[in-house]
Amino acid sequence: MLVLRLLNVVAPAYFLCISLVTFVLQIFLFIPSMFRDPSTTPLFSPALLHGALFLFLSANALGNYVLVIQSSPEDLGKDLNLGKGGEVADWLDGSRSPGSALPSTHFCRLCARVTQRHDHHCFFTGNCIGSRNMRNFIMFCLYTSLACLDSLVAGMAYISATLSMSFVDPLAFLTLLPHSISQFFSGALLSSEMFVILMLYLWLGIGLACAGFCCHQMLLILRGQTRYQVRKGMVVRARPWRENLQEVFGKRWLLGLLIPVLNVESDYRRQKEK
End-to-end CA, the chain: 39
Instruction: Just list the catalytic residues.
Output: 122
Specify whether the backbone of 225 is left (phi greater than 0), alpha (psi in -120 to 50) or beta. beta
Closest of 157, 148, 186 to residue 23, by C-alpha = 148
